[in-house]
């Protein structure tokens, strides 16, 4: 990425994604291999008037050492000041910018999968609390690395693989447009309109059918669908995900039944790759979970708390976005989940309703793990309270 492109990348993250306001503290998360991107974002943040850029660094090699050698009764320990740090940024009404994308894919593959599943760092429970209270304006966007590029394009030489990945990411970020902000605003307008229509329909449930998938998800009547744009409690608009192509809501965690098959590999936050994931739900809970890799890791994760085996999100993605058209598995949830419809185990989004009783029924958990279920031949049908069936998404095209 040349200097001009790097500057545009940082500007998109700071000015548009997070929509940083003068005087805000910025929580900036990075990892090895992303140093140049992190520094560019920090510089842009100070240009825009940041009070302070607080860098949070995650090194997966250090996590590997912990899983391999630390005492078993310490694996789930999270220093309390990690959570205190996030809560303090929320109280200060700060901003947050995170760079996604694996830096050491497969690094934990030869370790005890149960121990790997018990250590959820760098995920911090308090992050969900602050986001749920809409205290921060935040964004996540992909930060390419050489290791990630080799995973996505193993048939290319390393330099060519990195150049190809950067080209693709700049395309899905719309940074190949003369005015990427205008392009994003137009796409966001479309997604917000679909979310409005879905909210108005007040479906009682969604029924998904496709290869390896036949399941029904109950919906909560007082919960909205949302897309693209968020706003803090203080009224600061921001784009949490760049790129974003999804329309999403939080379902009824007690009414999920059937079998769903992942359409793409899932990459956990520490780089662990989960392939061929198949989940069976009964009365809202995971009754069976199988995968060809990291199976015991996933089975451990969903026992972390009562809500970890229930759904907190359902998201629909059409075929108008830029990601799916590339026909590439990116091994990064931020990218892959915006190429295909997906669901998430764990934490729901209470800010999607103004009704306290409804919010109390939404799923609670320390985790939030998205996995992709969308494919061209997936059909999503809305079921009304009267039992009528209404096509919603067919062949990747909206029917509402």
The residues, ordered by sequence, that sit 6+ positions from 62 with a Cβ below 8 Å of its Cβ are: none
pLDDT tens digit sequence for 275-317: 999 999 999 999 999 999 999 999 999 998 999 999 999 999 9
Average pLDDT (115-123) is 89
CATH 3.40.1830.10 residue ranges of the chain are 3-143
Residue 273 pLDDT > 90? no
Across 326-339, b (16+ Cβ under 10 Å) vs e yields eebbbbbbbbbbbb
- Mean pLDDT (the chain) is 94
- Are 257 and 216 in contact by the 8 Å Cβ rule? The answer is yes
What pLDDT is attached to residue 267? 86
Q: Is the pLDDT of residue 327 over 90?
A: no
pLDDT at 238 over 80: yes
Instruction: Return the CATH number of the domain spanning residue range 3-143.
Output: 3.40.1830.10
Residue 20 CA to residue 44 CA, distance in Å, equals 10
Q: What is the mean pLDDT of residues 339-361?
A: 93
Identify the pLDDT of residue 228: 84
Closest CA to 262 of 274, 244, 249, 250: 274
Instruction: Provide the pLDDT for residue 186.
Output: 93
3-state SS assignment for residue 68: helix
Contact 227, 191 (CB under 8 A): yes
- Which of the four pLDDT bands, split at 50, 70 and 90, describes residue 337? confident
What's residue 234's pLDDT? 95
What's the average model confidence in pLDDT over 131-139?
94
Query: Are the C-beta atoms of residues 59 and 134 closer than 8 Å to each other?
Result: no
What's residue 268's pLDDT?
Answer: 86
Residue 317 DSSP class: E
Kindly state the helix (H) or strand (E) to which residue 180 belongs, with its residue range.
helix 180-201
> Where do runs of H (alpha helix) occur along 241-400?
295-301, 333-336, 356-361
Nearest to 312 by CA among 204, 223, 211: 223
- Identify how many contiguous H helices and E strands the chain contains and give both numbers: 12, 21
* pLDDT at 66 exceeding the cut of 90: yes
Beta bridge partners of 279: 260, 289
For residue 324, pLDDT over 90 is answered with: no
269 band by pLDDT with thresholds 50, 70 and 90: confident
**pLDDT computed for residue 120 by the predictor:** 83
The arithmetic mean of pLDDT across residues 153-176, rounded, is 97
* Stretch 259-270: mean pLDDT: 90
What's the whole-model pTM score?
Answer: 0.85
At 353 the pLDDT is 94
Residue 208, pLDDT > 90, answer: yes
- In degrees and rounded to multiples of 5, residue 80 shows phi and psi of -60, -25
């Amino acid at each position: 990425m040349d200097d001009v492109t790097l500057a545009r990348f940082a500007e998109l993250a700071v000015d548009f994604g997070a929509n940083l306001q003068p005087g805000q503290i910025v929580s900036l998360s990075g990892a090895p291999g992303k140093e140049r991107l992190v520094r560019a974002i920090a510089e842009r943040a100070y240009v825009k008037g940041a009070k302070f850029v607080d860098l949070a660094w995650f090194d997966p090699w250090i996590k590997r050492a912990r899983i391999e050698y630390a005492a078993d009764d310490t694996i789930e320990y999270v220093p309390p000041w990690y959570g205190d740090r996030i809560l303090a940024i929320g109280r200060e009404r700060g901003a947050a910018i995170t760079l996604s994308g694996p830096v050491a894919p497969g690094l934990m593959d030869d370790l005890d999968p149960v121990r790997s599943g018990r250590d959820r760092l760098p995920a911090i429970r308090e992050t969900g609390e602050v986001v749920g209270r809409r205290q921060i304006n935040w964004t996540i966007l992909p930060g390419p690395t050489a290791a990630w590029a080799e995973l996505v394009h193993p048939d290319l030489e390393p330099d060519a693989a990195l150049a190809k990945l950067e080209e693709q990411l700049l395309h899905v970020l719309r940074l190949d447009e003369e005015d990427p902000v205008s392009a994003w605003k137009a796409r966001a307008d479309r997604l917000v309109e679909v979310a409005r229509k879905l909210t108005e329909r007040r479906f009682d449930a969604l029924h998904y059918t496709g290869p390896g998938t036949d399941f029904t998800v109950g919906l909560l009547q007082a919960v909205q669908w949302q897309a693209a744009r968020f706003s803090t409690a203080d009224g600061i608009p921001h784009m949490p995900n760049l790129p974003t192509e999804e329309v999403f809501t939080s379902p009824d965690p007690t009414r999920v039944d059937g079998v769903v098959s992942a359409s793409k590999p899932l990459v956990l936050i520490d780089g662990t790759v989960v392939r061929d994931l198949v989940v069976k739900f009964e009365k809202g809970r995971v009754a069976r979970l199988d995968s060809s890799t990291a199976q015991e890791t996933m089975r451990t994760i969903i026992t972390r708390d009562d809500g970890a085996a229930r759904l907190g999100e359902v998201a629909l993605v059409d075929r108008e976005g830029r990601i799916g058209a590339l026909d590439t598995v990116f091994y990064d949830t931020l990218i892959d989940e915006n190429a295909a419809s997906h669901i998430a185990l764990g934490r729901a989004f209470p800010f999607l309703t103004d009704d306290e009783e409804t919010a109390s029924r939404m799923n609670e958990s320390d985790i939030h793990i998205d996995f992709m279920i969308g494919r061209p031949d997936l059909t999503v049908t809305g079921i009304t309270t009267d039992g009528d069936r209404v096509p919603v998404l067919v062949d990747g095209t909206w029917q509402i």
